[in-house]
Amino acid sequence: MVSREHIAQFPETNFRLKQESSYNRASVNPTDSVGWFNNKDHNNNNKDHNFIRVEEINGQKEWVLMDHKGAGAIVRTWMPFKNAQKPSTNSIIKFYLDGSDTPALEGNMLDLLNGDGLIPFPLAHKSLRSAVSFFPIPYAKSCKITVTERPFFYQFTYREYPAETAIKTFTLEDYQQAKSAIEEVATTLLQSENKNEFENATDFHQLKPNEEKVFELQKGTAAIKNLALKLKSYQDSTVTRGVVIKINFDGKETVWSPIGDFFGTGVGLHPFKGWYRTVAEDGTLSSRWVMPYQKEAKITILNLGTTAIDFKLKTKVETWQWDENSMYFHAGFRQQYPVATRPFSDWNYITIKGRGVYVGDALTVMNPVKKWWGEGDEKIYVDGEKFPSIFGTGTEDYYAYSWGGISTDFYEHPFHAQPRSNVYNKFNRKTTNERNTQGYSTETRTRALDGMPFSSSLKLDMEVWSWVDCDMQYTLGMYWYGDANSTANVKPVPEQVLILPSW
């Protein structure tokens, strides 16, 4: 989980990332424009059956939410509040592993998964009106998850391994023996790094409009371990869109993105701290994605804005042992305006051909109205499958929070954050219960154990599903690793960079 080097290599034991969720079971075929975009992704009453089945165990009903046969490991869970104002439940969640009639792990559905129970913060934590856990629960033969009250929304993301894979099944005894390692990982995820990136750095470089500066890095087989950029001024919020970072590895440009989308800050300076990226309050933008290369690398900073900018750049490059599983880091940018909310549609984040691992994204949405914009589900297809391995329950659920219409406050976690929503960010926290999602919202999610490998292709779509018929803007920065011959449908679009609608 805390090895950034590990995710830069294709898994030695391949797996398929899958998800059990409460997506609407009417969504069967994309050609069915009604069923495919049905928004009832929950079990709010007895008419909803977006779960597997109901069992009676020792005289008590239990709702079965996941029933996977085979070797695997749960790597992410998301459970929202049933009531936006009441962070409590009496429902007990139970994990039955390898066919046992006795749960290997159980507890209050929210407390167990929000850091108040057995699993420590930040491996489990309170998101905005949700309990989210990244604590891995491995199993050798099967995993059945139940709850003792009718479920609301839910998501369980898990790795499905080949049948011959040897997996050690989770036990509470092993948990106790591994407690020091668990605590070490939890502490590591929260460590503050790179506080003084530019303490001994050179002076600022200046770029006039349409100018660029190229920085050549250490020759030979190596990897960028840290990359930090700082602008002299962020007074003009569009500067994070107008300044572009490009990175070329071994003669191929694999990174082209405005810095706001590359570092996850969106439009303007909106600080947050994550495991792979940090946006500091002093304006330092840090990336800790490991970026290997075999012969050479160069970083280019391009100013597409209308005024001159001043910047500092610092990198940390270390040796790397390249092998058949090593991959190149990619970061792309996609933007569209206008995006009509009617009829409902799937907006393609990215389609990749080749072998690689998808590791994260940062979505910035411009919403011209106050009502909630993010009911749309993610639909992720791997290696040419006809129905998505991962079918979600809402855009805010994908970014690990819930009740999006009211959850407009800033939040951060090592693997996801909402740096800005409406007018709120880390500088300006929300103090009321107003429902207003107008303006720019930036959501970001990065992956560790829930990285998504693909052998031949990956397609990630997000539904555009707003409560209002209007035109929005969707802008995305996305991050993945791929072989030298992998390709994607995301290309540099300089002419789109500074399209910034107002509301």
Q: Identify whether the C-beta of residue 307 lies closer than 8 Å to the C-beta of residue 233.
A: no
Which of 83, 5, 101, 71 is CA-nearest to residue 42?
83
Residue 52: per-residue pLDDT:
98
Interval 142-195: pLDDT, tens: 999 999 999 999 999 999 999 999 999 999 999 999 999 999 999 999 986 656
Q: Do domains 51-189 and 205-496 have the same CATH topology?
A: yes
Give the Cα separation of 224 and 249 in Å (integer).
11
Backbone angles phi, psi at 159, to 5 degrees: -90, 130
Interval 270-296: pLDDT, tens: 999 999 999 999 999 999 999 999 999
HSE-up (13 A, CA, CB side) for residue 28: 3
Q: Where are the domains of the chain?
A: 51-189, 205-496
Cα dihedral across residues 124, 263, 383, 161: positive or negative: negative
- Cis peptide bond N-terminal to 87, omega within 30: no
Q: For residue 56, is pLDDT > 90?
A: yes
Q: For residue 64, is pLDDT > 80?
A: yes
Q: Identify whether the C-beta of residue 332 lies closer than 8 Å to the C-beta of residue 490.
A: yes
pTM over cut 0.85: yes
For 51-189, CATH number out of 3.30.470, 2.60.40, 2.60.120, 1.10.3470 equals 2.60.120
Residue 273: per-residue pLDDT:
97
Sheet containing strand 105-108, edge to edge, reads: 53-57, 60-69, 142-147, 92-97, 105-108
Q: Provide the pLDDT confidence category of residue 359 given band limits of 50, 70 and 90.
A: very high
Q: For residue 310, is pLDDT > 70?
A: yes
Give the Cα separation of 296 and 159 in Å (integer).
35
Give the Cα separation of 292 and 247 in Å (integer).
12
CATH 2.60.120.1390 fits 205-496, yes or no: yes
